[in-house]
Structure 1
Amino acid sequence: MFSIGDFARLGLVSVRMLRHYDAIGLLRPAHVDPATGYRSYQAAQLSRLNRIVAIKDLGFTLEQVGAILDDKVSTEELHGMVRLRRAQIEEQISADLARLRGVEARLRTIEREGHMRTDEVVLKKVAPLRVAELSGRAASYDGEDIGPVIQPLYAELMKRLHEAGIKITGPGCAYYLQQDDGTVMVHAAVEVGVSEGADVDFLNLPGIETAATIIHTGSMENVGPTMQALAHWIEDNGYRALSLSREVSLHCPDNRDEWVTELQIEVT
């Protein structure tokens, strides 16, 4: 038998924690001296303590821990719970990092206010395109919502075209359409020279008579300053933006910092 202090040291927990576990019936001492109230524990109880701490640290409440232990959870089931929790934590970390990158990109946009690259805007006519595309719905225009939709769309589009033996004849062209419910329909398209042969949508994108365009270099996560420079140029030069806008991928190596994308907004 071990005193509560010794048992706490062996189990790598605090005495206060053991007293709390006793109070809520989660881990009762093996013996309580009726005269002094001193608690004593057996080495075999370390097994239950290990399970309590492991399950609690997975994010479960102590009430849930008790229910899980009452079901006599096995070691393999504990490993499964750890794997599930790891996946959840990794997903949360990924989301938090994406949100942090978004904040940093927004700060860069703020820093460049008043120093926009409006001299790089070019007015031009854009020819019609024959494209193959896949589409999906995003909650908003926020990069956190668009990215997880458009990236898998392009991966799947390329896969289907490759499997069908369809040759891509031009750059990728993404465009977005606002929906009545506030969501955004995301279209991931590439130029092709055929009209059928794969499980994708084939269509003709209309030409743009007058497009205000600007080149963005780098990841699309950092497109804010470039996009807003284009917006300032349109307004400062007496134009009005129409609904049609596109992102044309001119160069997309593995390193996203080397991406080259032309932003196009139809103007009048």
Structure 2
Amino acid sequence: MFTIGDFARLGLVSVRMLRHYDAIGLLRPAHVDPVTGYRSYQAEQLSRLHRIVAIKDLGFTLEQVSAILDEKVSAEELHGMVRLRRAQLEARISADLARLRSVEARLRTIETEGRMGAAEVLLKQVPPVRVAQLAARAADYESEAIGPVIKPLFGEIHRRVAAAGLPVTGPGIAYYLPEEDGAVLAHACLPIAAPPPAGDPGFEVVVLPGIETAASLVHQGSMDVVSSSFQVLAHWIEEHGYRWLGLAREISLHCPDDPAAWVTELQIEVAPEA
């Protein structure tokens, strides 16, 4: 037998918590001294205590924990629940890190306001181009929503184009179309010289229309911080008497493993103000 204090130390919980578990019938002591009221526990009860703590940490209430334990959840089932919870926590951490990067990018944009030059913005004509493309929905235009969608799309379109035996004739192109519900349809495109062979290649072949006048800027670095470059373009468009016609493209000129070394051309279709 172990005193409640010793049992709490062995189970890595507090004495207060053990008393609470006793009060609600979740983990009764093996023995209670009728004179002193001191609680004593047996070593075999540690197994139930570990299950209680593990299931509670999955996000269940103590009432739900009791119900689960009464149904005799096996160690294998409990391991599965723990793995699921771990995956959920990892996804939450990843989302929080992406949100943090987005906040940092916004802060850098704010810090550089008034110091951003516009000499690198050029006007150019963009010819039409035949592309193989895949599309998928993102929740919105925020980088933490776009990134997890567009990056896998490019990996998949590269794989499918290679499987179709088609040579890629230029850098990847990304563009985004708004959906009625506020979501965004992200497109990952690869220029190809010829249409695919007969049959379903697993991607769509379209001709992206030419742009008569595009305001173009080369963005250096991760796309998580692209907002500052779009701000440069917005200022340039406004200050030089143009209006944005709504079509924007991202041309991946250089994409090494390190996103900080990426080089991306931003193109926005513009026209002179009437």
| Alignment partner, residue 74 of structure 2 | 74
* Coordinate RMSD, CA, aligned: 1.4
Q: What's 2:192 paired with?
A: 192
Task: Name the residue aligned to 1:255.
Answer: 258
1:244 corresponds to 2:256? no
Aligned with 1:207 (options 200, 205, 210)? 210
1:181 positional shift: 2.4
Aligned equivalent of 2:45: 45
Amino acid corresponding to residue 253 of structure 2 in structure 1:
L
Aligned-partner residue type, residue 259 of structure 1? W
| Partner residue in 2 for 1:63 | 63
Name the TM-score, length of structure 2 as normaliser.
Answer: 0.93
Name the SS of the counterpart of 1:136 in structure 2. strand
Task: Report 1:62-141 matches (<5 A).
Answer: 62-141=62-141
Unaligned runs of 5+ in 2: none
Letter of the 2:243 partner, please give it. R
User: What CA distance in whole angstroms lies between the structure 1 residues aligned with 2:7 and 2:182?
Assistant: 58
> Which residue identity does 2:15 align to in structure 1?
V
Q: Secondary structure at 2:242's aligned position in 1?
A: coil
Q: What are the Cα deviations for residues 196-226 of structure 1, in whole angstroms up to 9, with x where unaligned? A: 2322111111111111100001111111111
Q: Identify the range of structure 1 (33-42 vs 204-213) with the bigger mean alpha-carbon deviation.
A: 33-42
| Unmatched segments (≥5 aa) in structure 1 | none
TM (normalized to structure 1)?
0.95
Deviates more, 1:136-145 or 1:22-31: 136-145
1:239·1:267 contact (CA, 8 Å) conserved in 2? yes
Cα distance in structure 1, aligned partners of 2:122 and 2:167: 30
Show the counterpart of 1:27. 27
Shift of 1:58: 2.9
String of CA shifts for 1:125-155, please: whole Å, max 9, x gaps.
1111111101112221111111121112111
1:6 equivalent in structure 2: 6
| Amino acid of the structure 1 residue aligned with 2:149 | V
Report if aligned partners of 2:4, 2:15 keep a CA contact under 8 Å in 1: yes
1:216 matched residue in structure 2: 219
Aligned residue for 2:36, secondary structure, equals coil
Q: 1:52-110 CA deviation, whole Å, 9 max, x = no partner?
A: 12222333221121112111122222222221111111111111100000000000110
Q: Which moved more, 1:73-82 or 1:163-172?
A: 73-82
Partner amino acid, structure 1, of 2:230 = M
The alpha carbon displacement at 1:41 in A equals 1.9
The answer as to 2:173 corresponding to 1:173 is: yes
Contact 2:166 2:196 in 1 (8 A): no
The percent of aligned pairs where both chains have the same amino acid is 69
- Ranges of 4+ aligned residues in structure 1 off by more than 3 Å: none
SS at match of 2:119: helix
- Determine the C-alpha separation between the residues in 1 that align with 2:230 and 2:6: 64
Residue number in structure 1 paired with 2:238: 235
The alignment partner of 2:241 has SS state of: coil
Q: Number of matched residues?
A: 268
Letter aligned with residue 111 of structure 1: E
Does the CA-based 8 Å contact 2:164-2:196 persist in structure 1?
Answer: no
* 1:209-258 deviation per Cα after TM superposition (whole angstroms, max 9, x unaligned): 11110000111111111111011000001111112211111111111111
